[in-house]
Amino acid sequence: MKFPILFFWISLIFLSSLSLSSKDTKQVSSTENRVESILPTTPESGSPWGDSSERLETMPILNLIDEKNSQKRWQDSNKEYSAAIDHFELARKTIEKRKEESKKEIYYEDRYEWQKQIRKENKEKEFQKQLFDLRSQTVGRLVKAMNLLEKIENPKVKESTPYLDLKSGIFREYIKHQEAFKNYLQVIDFAEKYIDLSSKNEAEAEPHRLLALSYEKMEQTAIRSKNQELYYEFKELKKKHLLRFAEIHYGRDSKEYASIEEKVGKDF
């Protein structure tokens, strides 16, 4: 089952005051982050989900359509998408460079270790805020790219490879930033949409990894909200995507898949 974002919030806050049994609560609390402990922490090498984001060249799609506006909207969306990627990567590298340079700076007025530690922590907070602001700006551009693409109404264009590739790319970048923000509801919503876009997307391991992790986070949130129904729903969805990730990433005949399948079978 797929939940709209609003349903998530309403369910977590208002639905079902049923408490989980002490056995279930103990089981969850003692095995927090277990998905994180058995899955890779980064995408596969060369994956478009990694640091090297996929860029799309302007593609000739006029032969598929009967209105010039569709191509212009695709191009405008692609331009916004590319600008979001380029600006983020350039600014992120600048922040990282400043961060490395700050480690070499010496402040003679800091005579005590606690003074040095406070300065170090303040510097780290400053860089984290810069990165947060950068991600927020990038998300804004990606949303604009989404909106431009959604204005295309021609059915042939919406079924074309250029359209689906661009929409997939925008969703991918958006999901990356929401995952960095720990906005797990957004990750779930858009990762599910991403998978539904094409069979090619569904056959990628990374969206299933992110969904397994995000559903586990929501499973823990359901525990804290004492929502038994959502707890079991999230748990099953977590296991579903965990198995699918293992199947794609390791292969059904691998030892890794067998190990994960065993854990899922034990209702971990």
Place 72 in a pLDDT band, splitting at 50, 70 and 90: confident
Mean residue pLDDT across the chain: 83
In this prediction, residue 36 carries a pLDDT of 72
Q: Which residue's structure tokens are 């700006």?
A: 137
Task: Please enumerate in sequence order all residues whose Cβ is within 8 A of that of 150, keeping only pairs 6 or more positions apart, or say none.
Answer: none
Higher pLDDT among residues 268 and 179, named by residue:
179
Q: What is the pLDDT of residues 102-117, one digit of tens each?
A: 988 888 888 899 998 9
In this prediction, residue 129 carries a pLDDT of 97
Q: What is the pLDDT of residues 195-243, one digit of tens each?
A: 999 999 999 999 999 999 999 999 999 999 988 999 999 999 999 999 9
Assessment of whether the complete model's pTM goes beyond 0.75: yes
Q: Where are the domains of the chain?
A: 1-41+203-268
